[in-house]
Amino acid sequence: MTVAVAEPVLEPLLPALTPWLRTRRWFGAGGGALDSVRPVVVSVVHDEAPVLVHAVLGVPRPDGTEQLYQLFLGLRRALPARLAGAAIATVPEGRWQGWTLYEATEDAALMGVLLRSLAVRGRRDGPRLERTSAHPLPVGLVPRPLSADQSNSAVVYGDRLLFKIYRRPEPGPHLEVEALRALTERHCARTPALHGTLYTDAPGGERLVLGMFEEFLPVEADGWQSALRQVGDCLEGRDSAAPVTGGFTAHARALGEAVAEVHAVLADAFPRTRVTPEEVAEEARLMKRRLRLAAAEVPALDRYRGRIGALYDDYARHAGRGCPVFAQRVHGDLHLGQVLPTADGWRLIDFEGEPDRSAAERAEPQPVLRDVAGMLRSFDYAAQTGLAAVRKRSADRTPGLRLRHARRAEAWAIRNRRAFIAGYAGAGGADPRCHPVPLRAFEADKAVYEAVYEARHRPDWLGIPLTAVHRLAGVRG
Ligand SMILES: Nc1ncnc2c1ncn2[C@@H]1O[C@H](COP(=O)(O)OP(=O)(O)O)[C@@H](O)[C@H]1O
Ligand SMILES: O=P(O)(O)O[C@H]1O[C@H](CO)[C@@H](O[C@H]2O[C@H](CO)[C@@H](O)[C@H](O)[C@H]2O)[C@H](O)[C@H]1O
């Protein structure tokens, strides 16, 4: 196994690679001009067939800065049928002319090679693993790609280790790695343990965080899927214990407790400061600016600008009257898809913050109520998505039944939001019921963010945040 800096190896691959890049979900939001892609860091991790090439590419953004993308590329003379879906293109020229270039994270053989190469200590020019745990890396585990390909990609080793690959690595301290390291050091039972961080020290990419290895938490369904199932049962009356009330509230309560626990550990690990009224006023101005930009992208938001802006003003006035606001490290993008119901209770994952916000914005300490608001929005999303699924399944389209389903969905959301809040407050978190003004402002800000997110990524879902904006705009006080 060799590792060599091999920048020239990438040039013949680029023409085949760039059209494929456009098709990646993790590429979509960043975009960029693909005619001037720059190899930033390139290494051949395994130089015998199948070949493994690691690359970080720089793609110019319209504002003159550069968006980085990370790739693990495989090369084989011929691709076995099981890897057909991973094919990118046939290499047109150079050393591997006629070979097939493919997405290496789908290839168990190459992901095994990668882990073994990372386990070998010593200086290398390719990716380098900095271990958090003293235990040896379990290199014999069978790798498989995780099918949920979202902002990043992941490979699971033997249902024990999860390798998260940051597809858009960013220079500077890494929010998720920092948070998980601190939580692991403090033995937080509500988050996966961090086992190690992948860096590159190659010239041009010094100390760039490329990925991390964390404890894999096997679950049958994540929080979002479990909630959706419960909404369906509740609406269709399958939940025999409580046909109308639904059976998720105990989980929602426990989830509130878990979030409060994580917030307490983060408050211990990172600075927690009192935000001045001037800073809150500035934050309210930023929220208004985001609203204005959002309305330019999602015109349906425009008619709510006055009323939603007034919620932000209420928040600024509330702080101006001396109501204390504290900021600290938070999760940053908390929703039901970011929580896993394991046998030992809820665990929170993915501490990267909102993918559509800039790195600087995501790094800012925030009031914990931002996370609470995120989860409250998620109960609303689950209820509305569950309702849509039930309506689709149901052959009975009578208005009475549709209304009953809608009422039950709304009641499900209210009940679970309350249970979550009660759990959060009961476990020592600041009681959200005592802070309705900031909570409403944060919910509105989140719904506005979601409207932009949905317009960009899932236009069919746009109605969910827009309905929430409508509701929040009508509530003042
Ligand atoms: N430690 C883990 N154990 C088990 N599954 C996980 C773990 N971390 C992430 N996942 C699964 O992978 C999916 C994507 O992970 P996430 O960290 O949210 O990535 P992204 O940043 O791409 O959204 C999650 O929705 C979850 O299903
Ligand atoms: O999971 P990510 O960090 O990539 O978060 C982004 O995508 C989420 C959707 O996958 C999006 O969440 C929104 O939809 C969820 C249902 O799919 C819902 O539970 C959330 O409440 C809602 O915000 C998230 O906003 C976005 O940043």
pLDDT band at 204 (very low <50, low <70, confident <90, very high): confident
Token readout for 124 is 């290398």
Residue 162 in contact with ligand 1 by CB distance below 6 A: yes
Per the model's pLDDT, the better-predicted residue between 31 and 105 turns out to be 105
Residue 212 burial by Cβ neighbours in a 10 Å radius (0-12, 13-18, 19+): buried
Residue 74 in contact with ligand 1 by CB distance below 6 A: no
Kindly report the CATH number that applies to the domain delimited by 223-474: 3.90.1200.10
Taking the CA of 453 as reference, the closest ligand is 2
User: Which residue owns the Cα nearest ligand 1 atom 8?
Assistant: 349
Taking the CA of 336 as reference, the closest ligand is 2
Per the model's pLDDT, the better-predicted residue between 239 and 304 turns out to be 304
Residue 63, pLDDT > 90, answer no
Q: Kindly give the number of the ligand 2 atom that is closest to the alpha carbon of 446.
A: 23
Dist. CA 164 → ligand 1 center (Å):
8
Q: What is the C-alpha to C-alpha distance for residues 12 and 126, in angstroms, rounded to an integer?
A: 20
Residue 2, pLDDT > 80, answer no
Question: What pLDDT, in 10s, does the model give residues 347-392?
Answer: 999 999 988 788 888 989 999 999 999 999 999 999 999 999 999 9
Dist. CA 357 → ligand 2 center (Å):
13
Residue 244, pLDDT > 60, answer no
**Distances in Å between the alpha carbon of 456 and those of 167, 301, 304, 460, 462?**
19, 14, 20, 10, 9
Task: Name the residue ranges covered by the structural domains of the chain.
Answer: 4-215, 223-474
Taking the CA of 335 as reference, the closest ligand is 2
ipTM: 0.97
Average pLDDT, the chain: 90
Question: What pLDDT, in 10s, does the model give residues 3-28?
Answer: 344 457 788 888 888 889 888 888 86
Q: Are 293 and 462 in contact (CB under 8 A)?
A: no
